[in-house]
Structure 1
């Protein structure tokens, strides 16, 4: 097997064991099995926490499109009139007459633990009995994009929880990487791509965050930066209560293919050179944009001091050859690779990514690449 391959695909999900089967009898399909959190388990095996985006086979009935929603009593289907929505983006639809930008999703996401061999090349088990699904009203439209860090013997897993109440960051903790406890919301509205540093900094937890908004302010013409979403830092005494760091973080720069926006990818890991992290950058193109992976190196004692940033040549780009045999399942118009975790493989890093918002990609990259 090569050092760049798909490890888990939509057809690998057994939807007869989906949490949605308890409530929804209508046919569904796996829109994507992607963006996996990555961690090494106590037994040495690797864990992928795969985002399964499950969608209705027939979302449109008559003059309505339907969205899946979790309730304490079970999953339900909410109808929305077709003439009241814009369905240009295959991942979501937008309410036309709303005073604010209001979205609904074409799928509902839940998290599926997939256990791999220590080298990350073979699937050992798919743990449907440990799947993580919505469990509170602030998760009614799904749980998305897990990122995992092991800190002093405890696994901390962030995810995006989606609801009409708020679009928030939630945290689960575990002692063994398999049995997870929902700690609740740690960051409020639209703060995506939160990643805990895999280790304390000065005795405190530290994290990457990425607040989103609808208004950004311009830099002066002679600035090297481009306004828009950026990667910020936050600290915490306990991993649950977070304070933003005032120093700026990683910002989109002029002349980079990531000039549209940047956001966190892999959990920062400590190397002899400093904290290494892989992040995503987006180039403006069509509705979604082109997603690529870049990397940066932060000072070990003061991570707000950026030692190196590689945002000219991408570390990873979407690879159409990997998805050639499942190209009929693709729904995004632009190339996307979205890195979501790293694990130590000895002389190389094992890098987990979502490929095309469709499948889970594993890439082995020599550590010399990051020096």
Structure 2
């Protein structure tokens, strides 16, 4: 069981989103609702206030129409539109997506389309100061036609680097945005190609280079030897870059799923690694079987300050964070359980403030004492 922290709460939820100001209102006449406001990137603005970049999953209020299931999509010429598919041709048991039953490849579509909403907080994250609807980030290229997901923000040498996952029929890719003020972002394009998710850039350089955690995915994994402690599946890898645009994957594996553990299904990057007096503090997620999509928990590790490929400590026995159902019990229409997905971190005087998505529904802020990360060796 993870520790229950004194300051651990929901800061932003679907009911806090004003859909009258949604970018979809520019062309879509359909009624929609907020399926989730979650997985926020987190950073410190030049003013000292904090900025959460919140993923807003906006869904059709009536996804089934005349025996057809409908999906939202952004079109370069038409704006936001709906596509229809015969209901009998899909498996719609997951409220987040539906899978097509026939075809040579595994194909799915989403029941919502995600865009990003900047939410400014006070310097300690105690309250919301402003919601910047005039600064939303929405699809602007074909590789984003099904939305933009799961931002992570790192500040390196005075520039903000935000990685996002862009979704389309073209590819499932990592797209970079940069900013000099933390609020106004410019898209720099695709930096990792198909099915490489959860790319998280270190908040600072090592040996003069940018470094990042990556998590390539696939439908096929080869078996480890029977005596190996590792389980096949999505793992966290490392990559480096001279400019944050061109990335070289490391040759050696990094953190892999571990048999008979809470990370037996997959692991993936969480918050941007930050430099401490003991090394790079890396907060990540591990998944085990259970629930609708698996049980997601947050763990942590320390990496060598000079060479991030060297793991100093890995703490994956007791989770740093677990989902807390009581936090979202008063929010209508929860559809997942057992999912905490940490995506942002800032350092306070005596604590770290960690931002997470709680059950793909709302934004959770947790203050964790620095003493939690004390040496164990």
Alignment TM class, shorter chain as reference: over 0.9
Instruction: Map 1:123-134 to 2 at 5 A.
Output: 123-134=128-139
Does the CA-based 8 Å contact 1:248-1:304 persist in structure 2?
no
Match of 2:369 among 353, 363, 366: 366
Matched, 1:335 2:306: no
Map of 2:323 onto structure 1: 318
CA drift at 1:2:
4.7
Match of 2:285 among 264, 271, 280: 280
Instruction: Map 1:346-361 to 2 at 5 A.
Output: 346-361=349-364
Match of 1:236 among 223, 234, 241: 241
Distance in 2 (alpha carbons) for counterparts of 1:252 and 1:52: 29
Map of 2:215 onto structure 1: 210
Runs of 4+ aligned residues of structure 1 deviating over 2 Å after TM superposition are: none
Map of 1:22 onto structure 2: 26
Distance in 1 (alpha carbons) for counterparts of 2:208 and 2:217: 28
Does the CA-based 8 Å contact 1:156-1:174 persist in structure 2?
yes
Map of 1:186 onto structure 2: 191
CA deviation string 1:322-358 (max 9, x = no partner): 11111x31012x3100000100111100000000100
Instruction: Map 1:54-65 to 2 at 5 A.
Output: 54-65=58-69
CA deviation string 1:146-186 (max 9, x = no partner): 00000000000000000000000000000000110000000
Map of 1:268 onto structure 2: 273
CA drift at 1:36:
0.1
Matched, 1:153 2:162: no
CA deviation string 1:187-218 (max 9, x = no partner): 00000000000001100110000000011111
TM-score when normalising by structure 1: 0.98
Match of 1:99 among 100, 104, 122: 104
Distance in 2 (alpha carbons) for counterparts of 1:180 and 1:284: 37
CA drift at 1:287:
3.6
Distance in 1 (alpha carbons) for counterparts of 2:252 and 2:265: 21
Does the CA-based 8 Å contact 2:346-2:353 persist in structure 1?
yes
Count of residue correspondences:
369
